[in-house]
Amino acid sequence: MEYMKKWEYWLSSPVVDEKTKAELNKIADNPREIEERFYKDLEFGTAGLRGVLGAGSNRMNIYTVRKATQGLANYIVSRGKDAMERGVAISYDSRHFSPEFAYESACVLAASGIKTYVFDMLHPVPILSFAVRYLNCYNGIMITASHNPARYNGYKVYGSDGAQLNVADSNVVLDYINNMDIFNDVSVMDLEQAKSKGLINIIGKDVRDAYLEEVLKCRKNPDVAIDTAKEIKIVYTPFHGSGLTPVTEVLAAAGYTNVHVVAEQAEPNPDFITVKSPNPEDKEGFYLAIEQAERIGADVILGTDPDADRVGVLVKNPDGSYDVLTGNQTGVLLADYILSSAEKNGEIGEDDYIVKSIVSTGLTQRIADRYGVKLYDVYTGFKFIAEVIKNHEDKNLPGKYHFGFEESYGSLPGTYARDKDAVAATLLLCELVAVLKRSGKTLSDAMRDLYKKYGYVVERVVSVTLEGIDGMQQIKAIMDKVEAEPFRTIADISLSAFRNYKKDTREDYETGSITPIGFEPSNVMYFEMSGGGFVVVRPSGTEPKIKFYYSVPCESMEEGNAIIDKLDAEVKRILL
C-alpha cells in the first residue's frame, strides 16, 4: 500500500527529526491513522496549504511547509534575478508553529538566494498584503489557518499585486512541488547565516504605520472624531489572534477613546482557550464580549478572527440585548454607507464599481443600481475581487473601486491591500455607529432602514463538516449527484435555471437553452429561483465541509427564514 511506503520513507529518512519519528512510531499499530496521514500529499491549491498539524505528508509540519516553499523558490528563481532581489514578505498569526513555519520558509528561500522580509511579531493578513505592495516584493507568504480550529495551520502565497497567487501561477508552483522529493530536493540555509548575508530582513512597526495611514484614508466622515467617536462605547475582541495591535492603534488614531478590549481574549493563544473555534461568524465565541458589553452598555461589539481578515459584528437592540449581523448584512451596510458618503461628496463616476462573490446577497445589486455603479460578481475567494481591481489597473479602465465583500465576513474598502481587511472594516463600522449616533440611531436601526429602502432579502449559509478520507469521498459524491441530477424544484419552490460553473453552462429551465456563463471552471452548482434568489452547493476550499447557500427575496425576515428552513430541510434530505 502506497501510504505505508510513505510512512516507512519518513521513518527512514535522515532528514526527519527524532521527535517527528517518535510521533510516527506511536501510530505503528494504527493503519487507519497512517492512511489518514499519508494517503495523499497536503494539497497546494489557489489558497495555498491548509491542514491539521502533525507528522505526515497530509499534515502541516516543517517538511510540508519546506516543500511548498521550495516549489515557490524554484518559481521565483525561474523569473530571474529581479524577482529574487525583490523577494518575499512573510507574516504569521498566533497559531501553533506559525513563527517556526515563517522562519522555515525564509530559510528555504534564502538557500535559493531569495531575499525575505519577515515581520518581527504576528501581523494580520491585510498588513502582509499591504507589505508585498509597499516593499515591492515579488511574492508574500502568510502563515495562518484563518478561523479554523486550533489543530489547524496553513500557508498562503501572495503575488506581487498583494493578492493571493492567481490560478495560473499557483499551477506553476504546484508543478514544481509535484516534481520534487520532500526531503532530497529541498535546501535550507541556517537562520543566522541567512540574516548575516542580508537574505532575511526583519520588518515591523514602520510597515504597520504606513499601512495604518492608508486605512485611515478610508474614512468617509473623519469629523466624527470631534464628537461622537469619543462617545460611543466599543467592545472589541481579537479572539487571541493578530488583530489587537493594529485595531486598537487605528481606532485610537481615529479618535475612538472608549474602546474596551475583552481581556480574556486579548493575548495571542494558539489554543484559543476561551472559544470552541475562533470564528467571528459564531455568536457563541462572543459570550465574554456580550457580558462586558451588557455591563457597560456598549453601542457595538466587534471581533476579528486570528489573522484579522474577517470581522464579526453584534448590534445593540432596544432592550439592551445584542444580535449578530450576518456577513451579508455587514457587507451591504458598509456598501451603502461608503456609496452614500461618496455620493454626498460628489465622488461617484459612471464607471465606478463594487464587487461581491456570487454567493453573496442579491441586495447588493439594488444598492449598486441606486448609486449608479457597476457590480461585478466573482467566485468565492478574495483574490477574485483583487483580480477585478488589477484588471482595471492593468488595462487602465475607467472607474473607481469603492468596495468589495464576501458573505463570509470579509471586505476591503480600498486598493492599498488586495485581501480582506478586518482592521479597516472595524474602523468603518465604528465610524458608521458614530455617524448614526448623531441622529439617535443604531446599527440595528440602520439595518431595518436598509430593508425598508431596498426590500428584504434573507440569506443563510449552512455548513456540514465531513472530515477524513470518508468525508472527502462523501463531499465528492454529493457534488457529483447535484451535477448529474440537478434540482428543478426544492420543497415545492420552483427553480428557473441551473448554472453549472464546473462546465461553464447556464440552463434556462423555461426555454431549455444552454448558454455559457463566462467564468473559469469551478466546482459550484448554482440554482436560480423563479422569484429571484438562489440555492448554491459548493465544497469549501479551505475546510472539510460542504456548504449550502440560500438567498430569498421576501416581505419580512420571518417569511424569508421560514422559506429557507423548508429549502434546507429538503436539500439535506436529498443529499445527506
Binned average pLDDT, 10 residues per bin, the chain of 576 residues: 94 97 97 95 86 97 98 98 98 98 98 98 98 98 94 97 94 96 98 98 98 98 96 97 98 98 97 92 94 97 97 94 96 98 96 98 96 97 96 96 97 98 98 97 96 96 92 95 97 96 97 96 96 94 90 96 97 96
State the Cα torsion 340-344-346-348 to the nearest 10°. 10
Q: Which residue is it, cell 510521533? A: 23
* Active-site residue list: 146
Q: Hey, is 119 helix, strand or coil?
A: strand
Nearest to 70 by CA among 176, 199, 171, 195: 176
* CATH code 3.30.310.50 for 457-575: yes
In this prediction, residue 570 carries a pLDDT of 97
Residue 326 is given by DSSP the state: P
Nearest to 441 by CA among 256, 317, 323: 317
Separation of alpha carbons 309 and 542, rounded Å = 15
- What CATH code is assigned to 211-323? 3.40.120.10
Nearest to 281 by CA among 448, 146, 91: 146
Residues 540/464, Cβ–Cβ less than 8 Å: no
In this prediction, residue 45 carries a pLDDT of 78
Q: State the angle between helix axes of 125-134 and 205-216 in degrees (0 to 180), rounded to the nearest 10.
A: 100
Separation of alpha carbons 179 and 395, rounded Å = 35
Phi/psi of residue 521, each to 5°? -60, 140
Domain limits, the chain: 40-203, 211-323, 457-575
Separation of alpha carbons 215 and 448, rounded Å = 28
Asked, colleague to colleague, whether 40-203 and 457-575 share their fold, the answer is no
User: Strand order in 353-357's β-sheet?
Assistant: 374-378, 353-357, 401-406, 410-412
Q: How would DSSP label each residue in 49-96?
A: EEEEBSSSTTSBSHHHHHHHHHHHHHHHHHT-HHHHHH-EEEEE-SST
Separation of alpha carbons 276 and 542, rounded Å = 18
Residues 505/514, Cβ–Cβ less than 8 Å: yes
206 C-beta neighbours (distance < 10 Å), count: 9
- What CATH code is assigned to 40-203? 3.40.120.10
**What burial class does residue 545 get, using C-beta atoms within 10 Å of its C-beta: 0-12 exposed, 13-18 middle, 19+ buried?**
middle
Read off the C-alpha cell for 311: 470581522
Are β-strands 493-500 and 505-508 bridged in parallel, bridged antiparallel, or unpaired?
antiparallel
Are β-strands 88-92 and 116-119 bridged in parallel, bridged antiparallel, or unpaired?
parallel
